[in-house]
Amino acid sequence: MFFHQKELQFHAKPERPDPVYAKKLQEILGGQFGEISVAMQYLFQGWNARGDEKYKDLIMDTGTEELGHVEMIATMIARLLDDAPINEQEKASEDPVIGAIMGGMNPHHAIVSGLGAMPENSTGVPWNAGYIVASGNLLSDFRANLNAESQGRLQVARLYEMTEDKGVKEMLSFLLARDTMHQNQWIAAIKELEEKYGTTVPATVPADWEATDFSYDFLNFSDGEHSKKGNWTSGKTPDGNGDFGYVKKPEAYGGKQELKPAPAYVHGIPPLED
């Protein structure tokens, strides 16, 4: 059950209209790593969560918070579009310099949404439910969540550098802070799950399913051996079940690829005779 409280989680207003920046801000709303993505990712993970109630609440609390972030950014986009009606843009475009700037506006804001936010990214690509990860495996999902928050914070930081608007920066500063918290909470939850179940996902795969001779060797497929300098080529593996190895020149373990001639009904090229 959800309730809508008629207050923004963090309130900030832009100092002036900026339809071009509103277009840029669409990325952290409806882009692959935007707030719509993380909100839906967390909510579907939470709705499908089984087992320990604390993990379900962790996911649902964060997903609900992200809905508030969707509202904040959508409101900021609408405010950046305030006082920027189409006829004013047409007049402004008579000046080549101003026209070039205004030309960067997202036409969907003017044509489709009536100067409001859209569920799409900064280039107008609609938000896609395929962006979200909800596998039913908590460790796998929490690692995906950490990546989503990392990518999202990176984009917010880049947007922060693209504006001098104090009000916009205040909102982005709040989002940076919350992304910091979310990254740390997922790291903490990941560590807790790894201590309980191990580092490899899924942890329930029987040993006899796996060709364990190949489980811990790093295979070098590059010129040189720079990758050998990493801590993934020697010492104990994080799961504690083996030791890293390094293979300088990997061998092919299979035979030559051989396919039967294509049958006539697929109209393939017949094989050449020896």
- The sign one gets for the Cα dihedral 58, 60, 62, 63 is positive
112: DSSP letter: T
CATH number for the domain formed by residue range(s) 19-197? 1.20.1260.10
Domain spans of the chain? 19-197, 210-247
Range list of H helices, 8-52 = 19-25, 27-30, 35-48
The SS3 of residue 120 is: strand
Q: Is the pLDDT of residue 106 over 70?
A: yes
Task: Assign residue 228 a region (left: φ > 0; alpha: ψ between -120 and 50; beta: otherwise).
Answer: alpha
| Nearest to 200, CA basis, from 145, 244, 140 | 140
Task: Give 170-204 pLDDT, tens digit per residue.
Answer: 999 999 999 999 999 999 999 999 999 999 999 99
| Nearest to 28, CA basis, from 166, 161, 158 | 158
pLDDT band, very low/low/confident/very high, at 166 (cuts 50, 70, 90): very high
Query: Hey, what amino acid is at 142?
Result: F
Whether the CB-CB separation of 47 and 63 falls below 8 Å is answered with no
The SS3 of residue 271 is: coil
Give the range among 24-28, 219-223, 236-240, 255-259 with minimum mean pLDDT: 255-259
What is the pLDDT at residue 141? 98
Q: Tokens 């690509």 belong to which residue? A: 125
* Highest mean pLDDT (candidates 56-70, 77-91, 93-107): 56-70
What is the pLDDT at residue 89? 55
Q: What is the DSSP string of 52-73?
A: -HHHHHHHHHHHHHHHHHHHHH
Range list of H helices, 82-137 = 86-92, 96-102, 107-111
Give the range among 81-90, 164-173, 177-186 with minimum mean pLDDT: 81-90
Residue 158's H or E segment, with its range, is helix 138-160
- Cα-atom radius of gyration of the chain, to the nearest Å? 26
Read off φ and ψ for residue 246, nearest 5 degrees: -135, 125
What's the rounded Cα separation, in Å, for the pair 121 and 34? 8
The SS3 of residue 91 is: helix
Whether the CB-CB separation of 22 and 107 falls below 8 Å is answered with no
pTM, whole model, 2 decimals? 0.88
- Long-range contacts, 5-12 (Cβ 8 Å, 24+): 8/68, 8/71, 8/72, 8/75, 9/65, 9/68, 9/69, 9/71, 9/72, 10/72, 10/170, 10/171, 10/174, 12/72, 12/76, 12/167, 12/168, 12/170, 12/171, 12/174
